[in-house]
Structure 1
Amino acid sequence: MSTAGIHSDAAPKPVGHYPHARRVGSLLFLSGIGPRDPATNTAPGNVFDREGKLVSYDIALQTRSVFDNVERVLASCGATWANVVDVTVFLTDMERDFQTYNALWAEKFPDAANAPCRTTVGITQLPAPIAIEFKCTAVLGDA
C-alpha cells in the first residue's frame, strides 16, 4: 500500500512543507485547504491597507473558493465531493461568518442526509491571511 504524498498542480501550493493529500488504502486524507487562488496565491475578497494589514475579507467568496480548491485536490486523486465523508471547517470569526458559510454549505449539499459529516471550529487565525479552511477525509475504491 502506497502512502506517498499527493500534490495537485491545479490547487494552490501548501503554505508549509506537506502534501495536499495522502492516500492510505481506500482512505484519502486532505491537508487543510484554504481559498487561495492557484494562479495568484491570493485569497479572493481580501482587502489590505497601505501597510499590508488585512482590513476586510469576503467570507462568501472565500467559502466558494475553498469548495473549488478541495474539488481540485479531489479530482487529482480520482475523487469527487461524493467521496468525502468528513470535513473539519476552521473559521477565524465564527460569530461573523458562520451563517454565511453554513448557507453556502447547504447550497453545496442540499440533502443533509448525503452531505459529509462536518465539524466547525472557531480559531484565532490561520497560517495565511484567510478566514476559512477545510480538512477533509474521503473514501475511495480499493487501490
Structure 2
Amino acid sequence: MSGIVHAAAAPGAVGAYPHARRVGNLLFLSGVGPRRPRDNGVPGNVFDADGRLLSYDIEAQCRQVFANVQAVLEASGARWQDLVDVTVFLTDMQRDFATYNRVYAEYFSDAQPCRTTLGISALPTPIAIELKCIAVVADPS
C-alpha cells in the first residue's frame, strides 16, 4: 500500500508537498515545524512593529512540533510508538539543545526511535525547530 497523506489537524504545508507519504509499511513525514494549525502562528515568537523576529520560546515550539507530528501520524494510521527515525533541525544548537533535549525526553520516554540532531543556520519560516520522521506502520490487511 502506498499513498499521500494530508492531515487536516496539522498546519498546512508551506510548499508543494504532502504531510506524509506511505510506501509499503514505511511512512515518511515531510519536515514538520511548530506552526499552530488553527492560525499558522508560531508559539512563543515575538516580533517588532516591522515584523522582525525579536525572540522565541524553544520549549513552546518543541511542544507544538511534537503535537504536529502526532497529528500527521494519526492521519496516517500510525502511532507515536511507530516512529523509528527522527531527524531534528535546530537553528541555535548552543542556545536551545538542552531545553529541546529535556522536552524530547518527556515525549520519547517509551518510544525510542533513532535520532539525529543538526544545527543549521535557518529554516524557511521564522521557526527554531523542524522534525523529519520515519515510521513503520502495520499492514492494514
TM-score, structure 2 length as denominator?
A: 0.96
Rounded Cα–Cα distance in structure 2 between residues aligned with 1:136 and 1:110: 17
Rounded Cα–Cα distance in structure 2 between residues aligned with 1:75 and 1:107: 19
- Report Cα offsets for 1:83-126 as digits up to 9, x if no partner: 00000000000000000000011111225xx4111000001111
1:10-21 matched pairs, under 5 angstroms: 10-21=9-20
Q: List 4+ stretches of structure 1 deviating above 4 A.
A: none
Show the counterpart of 1:137: 134
State the one-letter code of the partner of 1:100.
Answer: T
State the one-letter code of the partner of 1:130.
Answer: I
Selected match of 1:128 from 114, 125, 130: 125
State the one-letter code of the partner of 1:141.
Answer: A
Give the unaligned 5+ runs of structure 2.
none
1:18-57 matched pairs, under 5 angstroms: 18-57=17-56
Compute the displacement of 1:5 (Å). Answer: 1.8
Show the counterpart of 1:115: 112
- Report Cα offsets for 1:18-70 as digits up to 9, x if no partner: 00000000000000000000011010000001110001000000000011000
Rounded Cα–Cα distance in structure 2 between residues aligned with 1:83 and 1:38: 23
State the one-letter code of the partner of 1:18.
Answer: Y
State the one-letter code of the partner of 2:67.
Answer: D
Show the counterpart of 1:85: 84
Q: Percent identity at matched positions?
A: 64
TM-score, structure 1 length as denominator?
A: 0.95
**Aligned residues, how many?**
140
